[in-house]
Amino acid sequence: MSRGLNLGEPDAADLLQAVADFLAQTVAPRLEGREAFLAKVAVNTLGIVRRQLMQDGDGALLQPLNAEADAMLAASGQMTGGQDRLRALADAIRSGVLAHDDPALRSLVLRLAAARVSVEQPAYGSLKLVPDTTGEHQPPPQA
Amino acid sequence: MTVEAGLPVQALAMRLGGHEGAIENLVRLSGGASQETWRFELVTAHMRQALILRRAPGGHDLSAEPVAIGLAGEARLLRAIVPHGVAAPRVVHVLEAPDGLGTGYVMECVEGETLPRRLQRDAAFAGARERFAADCGAALARVHAVALAPGVLPGQSDGAGAQLVRYEQIFRSFDSARPAFEIAFRQLKQTLPAAAPPTLVHGDFRLGNLMLDATGLKCLLDWELAHLGDPVEDLAWLCVPSWRFGQTARPVGGIGALGDLLDAYERAGGRPVDRARFDWWLVFGTLKWGIMCLMMYRAFEQGLDRSVERAAIGRRTSETELDLMLLLEGRL
């Protein structure tokens, strides 16, 4: 998402953070049982939305993976790119055009999954097993 | 204490406690995405008893899994297996139409803890954690030794081959592009294990459905996915990465070691576990949980359950894609 306009107003991430903090700090402590559980789920859900907005705005995170997928699909004579990239990959594996036990394919699919988990659940345990995961649990690169 | 008092329990109170019967401190418990679980106290002039009501949302069975036996089936199964020494709750009453609460049953309230994070971390459960894997192995050996009378469960065995076909059909109906699932499907078809002798399988044996106290495993809950099938399914499901709740390096529920589980299982009379069969079920269980997440999101999408829990669970599918790839690479 763009943080460059500098209109002196909160951007979408700020608004989501404010709502999440309100739910977590003010609402959740007053709830019990299932409602307290659902409040926690709600807070986590807003976190997914916030991280996804930021990732969509900064396509650099996924771009190398997408380029790798496109190259792999092109090498096997498949249509590439765009919104249907995952669909093309999935179909090529299902039909056997891409060998399901090819180490390069498996490595790519693993990193694609890790990129999604880093948005949807940055604290998920298995992410620690993927050394080059891009996610906000890692310090941002120096400018 | 009562958070949701919206359940009309007057008829149930009189059914269980007679004319002077009353239900107090009714509270819905947090767990259970497909069933409601309520705790309450039945009060009469002479006694006060804690009980659990298991009930389908809105009174209608809404399980994501098409072969779930439903709450009536679960009650029938519990009544059949408790006499075999299986540590399962005793059923007190199966709901009937005049109770006005839809489908479900009332069972005894076993005191203990089910929340995974507390079981993994709280000092009170340090001793229970030491023996957790062995407790689970012994408990599963007892479940798998039960010879059920005909008719308690559907007769057809739901083993590896049948489940693989069914979950692929379900997954195809979603039009969800998941390269990791496609890799897993191909791998699982290539390595399908031979059919196992039909055995009583719990079907959802994992942290969250296991009640512990400080001394160890006390009670096996949530039998709605029980079926006849391959017993190794239960052993592997307990070790599916999602059920390790963050403690990835400890395969058995994020608490114990795999060797302890399998040793205790065999010592307690379970058939020796073939490692390739276990690995197959571990990969399949991970894939199945990913598809179940999509199924549960479906209930939200179709307007059957608009809770934030049902919406958000669809976004847990990616964790199973990652776990599948790590499992297939031998890194998990």
What pLDDT, on the 0 to 100 scale, is given for residue A4? 55
Euclidean distance between CA atoms B159 and B323, whole angstroms:
23
Task: Verify whether the Cβ–Cβ distance B179 to A48 is below 8 Å.
Answer: no
Q: Check CB contact of A32 with chain B, cutoff 8 Å.
A: yes
pLDDT digits (tens, 9 = 90+) for B112-126: 999 999 999 999 999
Task: Verify whether the Cβ–Cβ distance B325 to A31 is below 8 Å.
Answer: no
Q: Which residues contact B76 (CB under 8 A, 6 or more apart)?
A: B152
Question: What band does A63 get if pLDDT is binned at 50, 70 and 90?
Answer: confident
Mean pLDDT is highest, among A75-89, B28-42, B220-234, for: B220-234
Chain B neighbors of A84, CB-CB under 8 A: 177
Whether B202 contacts B68, CB under 8 Å: no
Q: What is the token pair recorded at B90?
A: 């005793």
Euclidean distance between CA atoms B230 and B273, whole angstroms:
11
Whether B215 contacts B111, CB under 8 Å: no
pLDDT digits (tens, 9 = 90+) for A24-56: 999 999 998 888 989 999 999 999 999 999 887
Task: Verify whether the Cβ–Cβ distance B241 to A125 is below 8 Å.
Answer: yes
**Pairing, β B199-201 against β B22-28:** unpaired
Domains in chain B (CATH in brackets) are 10-108 (3.30.200), 116-328 (3.90.1200.10)
Convert A67-89 into a string of H (helix), E (strand) and C (coil).
HHHHHHHHHCCCCCCHHHHHHHH
Indicate which of B35, B325, B329, B331 best probes the interface with A, i.e. most A CBs within 10 Å of its own CB. Answer: B325
- 3 state SS of B228: strand
Task: Verify whether the Cβ–Cβ distance A129 to B180 is below 8 Å.
Answer: no
Q: Which residues contact B97 (CB under 8 A, 6 or more apart)?
A: none
Chain A neighbors of B169, CB-CB under 8 A: none
- Give B53's strand partners: B38, B106
Q: Which residue of A has its CA nearest to B314?
A: A120
Chain B neighbors of A109, CB-CB under 8 A: 179-180, 183, 321, 325
The full DSSP string for B88-135 is: -PPEEEE--GGG-S-SEEEEE---SB--HHHHHH-GGGHHHHHTHHHH
What pLDDT, on the 0 to 100 scale, is given for residue B44? 94
Q: Which residues contact B219 (CB under 8 A, 6 or more apart)?
A: B87, B88, B89, B110, B112, B210, B211
Whether B176 contacts B275, CB under 8 Å: no
Enumerate residues 87 to 116 of chain A having a beta carbon within 8 A of any beta carbon in chain B: 87, 89-90, 93-94, 96, 100-101, 105-106, 109-110, 112-114, 116
What pLDDT, on the 0 to 100 scale, is given for residue A136? 43
Q: Which helix (H) or strand (E) holds B165?
A: helix B160-172
Check: complex ipTM more than 0.85: yes
Average pLDDT over residues B278-290: 98
Lowest-confidence pick of A77-81, A101-105, B94-98: A77-81
